[in-house]
Amino acid sequence: MDNAKSPLQIRALDKFRGKTQVLHGIDLDIAPGERLALLGHNGAGKSTMIKAVLGLIRHEGGSIRICGAAPGSAAARAATAFLPEAVSFHPALTGHEQLSLFARLAGERADIDGLLERVGLGEAMHRRIGAYSKGMRQRLGLAQVLLGRPKLALLDEPTSGLDPISRQDLYAIINELAEQGAAVLIASHALTEVEARTDRIAILRKGVKVADDTLAGLSAQAGLPVRLRVQASGAHADRIAVETGGRRINGASVEILCSPQDKMAELRKIAAMGDAVADIDMVPPRLEDLYRHYSGEDRR
């Protein structure tokens, strides 16, 4: 995938803060229209990586190309949109004035009113940003991302401070961006949110990329167990626990962990027990389990 016009291409990226290395040989690509979730603990290097891509900080090793241009170059800046974590603006300006400034800086003749309507700030556009709530500032930040059809959108914790409905709106807008052909990178802690709404997931741990695949691919690689929760009828819980090798979790339930390949065999076994089983729940590994697996919490 050495396409020179790839929206984002990172190769062997190294970054030092003083003597500590904060990014270790990161490789990352995003294709046009792809939504990538970048996950990691606080201090894992997500924001550092985004700043390096923006050309705001220098990196010591490796290369970054945005549509073939160097980070921080005029071409790269023109192709990139950025939403910082907990975005803020000068409180004395109105939302409309702030967005107009950004449009002028980007050299775009944008429909400012339309954009502000689109993110739900139609009523508040002529009020000062100082009077905005955190969610409204975040929406204004999103409006500036939509300026001028970016080829690459870098969103750092885009949903922090948003209520659930605003989050829905935000992901609708992200999807729209991706449909227009933008490569979207979403750095996030909110695992359950990005799970269903991104195409690919990359996980950073202490500056090292430990995973980079689709959710299904990650599950298969991790080989995490499927969780079967069997509810026993009457006093059969003990018997079920013994026969399946599961663990009693309360008076009437047994929890069984089995690998994805053994799942069907286990289910047949349970079905053969007849009336002793009242109900059964099956929980496949979630992103949260995968994240714990890859970010190393399981390995302590």
Partner 1 sequence: MRRAFAIARAEMLILRRNRWLFMATLIMLAFSLALSFAGSAPTGTLGVDMLTVSVASMTTLSVYLAPLLALMMGFDAVAGDRDRGSLALLLAYPASRAEILLGKLMAHLAALAVAMCIGFGAAGAVAVWFSGAGAESLMALGRLVLTSILLGAVFLVLGYALSALCSGATAAAGLSAGVWLVFVVLYDLGLLGAVVMDSGGIFTQKIFPWVMVANPADAFRLWNVAASESVALYSGMAGAASALPGWAAPLSLLLWPALGFVLACAAFRRVEP
Least distance CB 52 / partner 1 (angstroms): 10
Least distance CB 109 / partner 1 (angstroms): 12
Is the Cβ of residue 97 or residue 117 nearer to partner 1 in the bound state? 97
Residue with tokens 């500032």: 137
> Is residue 226 within 8 Å of residue 193, measured between CB atoms?
no
The reply on whether position 70 binds partner 1 by CB under 8 A is no
Please state, in angstroms and as integers, the Cα–Cα distance from residue 77 to each residue in 150, 223, 253, following that order: 10, 41, 57
Is the Cβ of residue 45 or residue 246 nearer to partner 1 in the bound state? 45
- Per the DSSP assignment, residues forming a β-bridge with 184 are 35, 153
Residues 80 and 154: their CA atoms lie apart, in Å, by 7
Q: Judged by CB under 8 A, which of 12, 43, 56, 297 binds partner 1?
A: 56
Residue 168 parent element (H or E): helix 164-179
**Segment lying near partner 1 (by CB under 8 A), choices 35-43, 48-56, 59-67, 179-187:** 48-56
Is the Cβ of residue 86 or residue 165 nearer to partner 1 in the bound state? 86
Provide the 10 A C-beta neighbour count for residue 242: 11
The reply on whether position 57 binds partner 1 by CB under 8 A is yes
Q: Judged by CB under 8 A, which of 5, 104, 126, 134 binds partner 1?
A: 104
Least distance CB 138 / partner 1 (angstroms): 12
Q: What x-and-dash track marks residues 118-137 binding partner 1 by CB under 8 A?
A: ----------x---------
The reply on whether position 93 binds partner 1 by CB under 8 A is yes
Of residues 141 through 160, those in contact with partner 1 by CB under 8 A are 141, 144
Least distance CB 151 / partner 1 (angstroms): 13
**Segment lying near partner 1 (by CB under 8 A), choices 82-90, 111-119, 233-241, 264-272:** 82-90
Least distance CB 98 / partner 1 (angstroms): 8
Residue 156 parent element (H or E): strand 152-156
> Which of 162, 125, 156 has its CA nearest to residue 143?
125
Q: Judged by CB under 8 A, which of 36, 45, 82, 232 binds partner 1?
A: 82
- The dihedral region occupied by 12, where left means phi > 0, alpha psi between -120 and 50, and beta the remainder, is left
- Per the DSSP assignment, residues forming a β-bridge with 64 are 10
Interior angle at CA 26, CA 180 and CA 284, nearest 5: 70
Is the Cβ of residue 57 or residue 190 nearer to partner 1 in the bound state? 57
Secondary structure (DSSP) of 213-273? E-HHHHHHHHTPPEEEEEEESTT-HHHHHHHHT-EEEETTEEEEEE-GGGHHHHHHHHHTT
The residues of the shown chain that bind partner 1, judged by CB under 8 A, are 51, 54, 56-58, 74, 77-78, 80, 82-84, 86-90, 92-93, 97-98, 101-102, 104-107, 128, 141, 144
